[in-house]
Structure 1
Amino acid sequence: MKKAKTGGLGRGLGALGLGKDALTLPTDPPPEEKTETAAAPAGVPAQLSIDVIQPNRFQPRREFDEAALEELRESIAQHGILQPVTVRDIGAGKYELIAGERRLRAAKMAGLTTVPAFFRTANDAEMAEMALIENLQREDLNPIEEAHAYQRLLTEFKLSQEQLARRVARSRSAIANSVRLLRLAKEVQAFIANGVLTMGQARPLLALETAALQREAAEYIQEHELSARGVEALVKRLAKDPNALKKSAPPKPEKKPDLFVREAEERLTRSLGTKVRIQTGREEGKGRLEISYFSAEDLERLLSLLTVSADGAAKEDKRAALRAFSKQKFTV
């Protein structure tokens, strides 16, 4: 996916009276021991108790990388928070986060009780806009998260695409194309969000009328590693004949059952206590492993089994290495 341009996004903040100066970090950060829960003047940072900060209801990000959060936690533990979070006063001694959710989460993980905070006066629409702009500037959103954020601003706050485009320094066509992604089947949206499909591969699928056909095409694209032009040609075929893939698919040669694969399926099924299926791929030594679960509790049970097994295997490997090391003879 082509990276979002960030140079012009300051215009969105400027429209709210929040230009670059309003976001400039203080040269002398407030002392760590000072804790304030009363709102400071706009633009002035203060130490604020983490317990009085509520999450941003308009946060466009839906996924937070755990590894990246852990790295940020380590950095905060060593150096503190270098850039204050931004909050608004919602009364009764409580504050709502506008920007800085990763910093706030990492600060909690690091055991901090206070964080430096800027105070802003903002209504719901301005707050949603600032949260979106911050994530766009950092290029933190995947295409589907970005599309949902645009859609929310358009519907909840009655903005036109032209108004939204001006506020976030995007073209109207960019806004329209982004929001159109939400018309794709949920499974296809997940492929885009996870980076399995590129935007060039995904956009042509909008021409297909049904979610089932979009899913079928998306799986075909992955299996055959089609380019954007290849996808366009595929979509034209499917638009003329929705059953084109079924008709053109060559009959699959009968594969002799692989005894090793069948035995592996049975062993995994017994071990995990659920249905396990192994599909061999076209290339030697490659394939797909499917583990079925039937409830949230069943999934949690499987996660516990798999992670405990992995941790146990790692510990056993370490013990084996230590035993081998202890048996070596050394000459002094």
Structure 2
Amino acid sequence: MADKKKKPRGLGRGLSALMADVNPAPVSTQSEAPRNAEVLVPIEKIVANPNQPRRQFLQEDLDDLTASIKEKGVLQPLIVRPKAGGAYEIVAGERRWRASQAAQLHEVPVLIREYSDQEMMEVAIIENIQRSDLNAMEEAQSYKQLMEKFGHTQEKMAEALGKSRSHIANLVRLLHLPEDVQILVQERKLSAGHARALITSDNASDLARKIVKGGLSVRATESLVKKDAAGIRTASAKKPKAASEKDADTRALEGDLSAMLKMKVSIDHKPGSEAGSVTISYENLDQLDELCNMLSR
């Protein structure tokens, strides 16, 4: 019973160790004996992770990696954990495993780790964050997973992952954009800079289409958003905004706090004042207990 209430472990030395596994020093040549942390495992004993957070593997990228492996071998070991029957489940490195199969390798270098299900998911997410071809929405989803599934704060993640807190916060806020705008970012028709400029807009979808059609720069996008906001303010001056309507910044902040606390958060800011109230809704007594613990800290 006590295990069910066990709090997620914090970041720090634990995550540093996981990151050291994701980014180990490469093997210099195939002829050298692997470091004592590495072993060579027959490729047929390795199985994919069914919960791999990255679902798309571009064939062109796999072909390039296959050609590299044929020439130089696997330069960075896969991370695996033992399974029943002498098999190993991939924690990180599925692209290398797929390319190694295509290159007809018989065995690959691996790091064997006794990871829990939580650690396994964390490493898979961390590896995705480290990838250079990740688009802004994929990276934002990865940070959101680390916060929602494991209770990690933006400050702690920034410190452990070597990112600035503002970088993480700005990307997570992109998840509050309309779905059609997020798709444009995923398709790389809009950059992260374009998307950030649209966060505060109440007309993000229409503006996004204009940006893509006109091939506007980020600076031009920022000007467009300001002009659009000024037009909306002018139009609404004749018809005051309903008191209950919240601006985009308030909604984004509510989303950030809800993701961090894993509870619904509502912010009621009094117009024309610096005062207001924050309401946190819990679904059960366990959440209330967790909230009390966080506030007491």
TM-score where L is the length of structure 2: 0.63
The SS at the match of 1:16 is: helix
Amino acid at match of 1:217: L
Partner of residue 91, structure 1: 84
Distance apart, 1:27 and its partner CA: 5.7
The SS at the match of 1:45 is: strand
The answer on 1:48 being equivalent to 2:42 is: yes
Partner of residue 134, structure 1: 127
The answer on 1:72 being equivalent to 2:80 is: no
> Residues of 2 paired with 1:63 and 1:97: CA distance?
16
> Residues of 2 paired with 1:20 and 1:114: CA distance?
20
Spell out the pairing of 1:151-190 with structure 2 (5 A cutoff). Answer: 151-190=144-183
Amino acid at match of 1:155: E
Amino acid at match of 1:73: T
The SS at the match of 1:117 is: strand
> Residues of 1 paired with 2:151 and 2:66: CA distance?
38
Distance apart, 1:196 and its partner CA: 1.5
Distance apart, 1:17 and its partner CA: 6.5
> Residues of 2 paired with 1:110 and 1:69: CA distance?
10
The SS at the match of 1:81 is: coil
Distance apart, 1:165 and its partner CA: 1.7
The SS at the match of 1:108 is: helix
> Residues of 2 paired with 1:27 and 1:208: CA distance?
50
The SS at the match of 2:151 is: coil
Flag the 1:17–1:220 CA change in 2: closer, same or farther, 3 A. closer
Partner of residue 16, structure 1: 17
Query: How many pairs are equivalent?
Result: 222
1:123 to 116, 119, 127: 116
**Is the Cα–Cα contact under 8 Å of residues 45 and 88 in structure 2 kept in the other structure?**
no
Partner of residue 215, structure 2: 225
> Residues of 1 paired with 2:232 and 2:210: CA distance?
13
The answer on 1:57 being equivalent to 2:47 is: no
Distance apart, 1:241 and its partner CA: 4.3
Amino acid at match of 1:227: S
Distance apart, 1:156 and its partner CA: 0.7
Distance apart, 1:208 and its partner CA: 2.3
The SS at the match of 2:17 is: coil
Distance apart, 1:214 and its partner CA: 1.9
**CA deviation digits over 1:173-204, x for unaligned, max 9?**
21111111111122222222232112222112
The SS at the match of 2:38 is: coil
Partner of residue 272, structure 2: none
Flag the 1:30–1:134 CA change in 2: closer, same or farther, 3 A. farther
The answer on 1:107 being equivalent to 2:89 is: no
The SS at the match of 1:68 is: helix
**Is the Cα–Cα contact under 8 Å of residues 81 and 90 in structure 2 kept in the other structure?**
yes
Moved more, 147-156 or 88-97: 88-97
Unaligned 5+ residue runs, structure 2?
Answer: 1-11, 235-297
The SS at the match of 1:97 is: strand
Please list every run of at least 4 consecutive aligned residues from structure 1 whose deviation after the TM superposition is greater than 6 angstroms. 11-14
Unaligned 5+ residue runs, structure 1?
Answer: 1-10, 32-40, 245-332
**CA deviation digits over 1:25-54, x for unaligned, max 9?**
4567589xxxxxxxxx98232223335322
Flag the 1:129–1:166 CA change in 2: closer, same or farther, 3 A. farther
Flag the 1:17–1:194 CA change in 2: closer, same or farther, 3 A. closer
2:229 to 239, 242, 251: 239
Moved more, 49-58 or 17-26: 17-26
How many percent of aligned residue pairs carry the same amino acid?
Answer: 35
Distance apart, 1:215 and its partner CA: 1.9
Larger Rg: 1
TM-score where L is the length of structure 1: 0.57
> Residues of 2 paired with 1:57 and 1:225: CA distance?
37
**Is the Cα–Cα contact under 8 Å of residues 56 and 98 in structure 1 kept in the other structure?**
no
The SS at the match of 1:23 is: coil
Amino acid at match of 1:53: V
> Residues of 1 paired with 2:81 and 2:189: CA distance?
38
**Is the Cα–Cα contact under 8 Å of residues 51 and 113 in structure 1 kept in the other structure?**
no
**Is the Cα–Cα contact under 8 Å of residues 52 and 93 in structure 1 kept in the other structure?**
no
